[in-house]
């Protein structure tokens, strides 16, 4: 597979504009734009070397906030800082279409698993949250807290 070349920021912005994306300059910054299409949004910024990179990954707009797609195994959800809603087929179709076009603009490779359908940043197939984090960052379970506090009595051998 040939190595993908990073595209210049101006080329990416022009491609997005020419392909029907709405572009909004990020307030208070230079070289960063928010792009929107199909009610999905993301942001691109200029690197020091003049190439473009993703600043905010694509997410369906819930209100005015870019949501994060969460997969819980039985259902995908659109999560924002304030709420979480079940993702519908229309949400996922829009997100998938946007992401395909967005990656084309940036000159990023199209990966097989992503072309099959919408992929999430995080997957949680059980209810044990934090399992994927490094040990020190995982939340303490009730039995771990009790052990640390000395509340778990050791049985003496009989």
pLDDT 10s digits, 109-124 = 776 555 555 555 555 5
Dihedral sign (CA 29, 33, 36, 42): negative
Query: Which pLDDT does position 130 carry in this prediction?
Result: 73
3-state secondary structure of 99: helix
Check residue 63 and report its DSSP letter.
T
**What stretches in the chain show pLDDT beneath 70?**
1-5, 111-128, 147-158
Q: What is the pLDDT of residue 143?
A: 80
């Amino acid at each position: 597979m040939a190595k993908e070349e990073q595209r210049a920021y101006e080329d990416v912005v022009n491609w997005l504009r020419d392909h029907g994306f709405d572009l909004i300059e990020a307030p208070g910054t230079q070289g960063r734009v928010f792009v929107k299409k199909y009610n999905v949004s993301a942001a691109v910024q200029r690197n020091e070397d003049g190439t473009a990179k993703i600043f905010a990954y694509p997410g369906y707009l819930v209100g005015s906030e870019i949501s994060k797609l969460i997969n819980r195994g039985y259902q995908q959800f659109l999560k924002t800082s304030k709420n979480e809603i079940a993702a519908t087929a229309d949400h996922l179709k829009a997100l998938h279409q946007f992401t395909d076009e967005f990656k084309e603009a940036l000159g990023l490779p199209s990966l097989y698993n992503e072309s099959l359908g919408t992929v999430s940043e995080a997957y949680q197939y059980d209810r044990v949250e934090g399992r994927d984090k490094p040990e020190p960052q995982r939340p303490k379970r009730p039995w771990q807290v009790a052990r640390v506090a000395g509340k778990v009595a050791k049985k003496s051998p009989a």
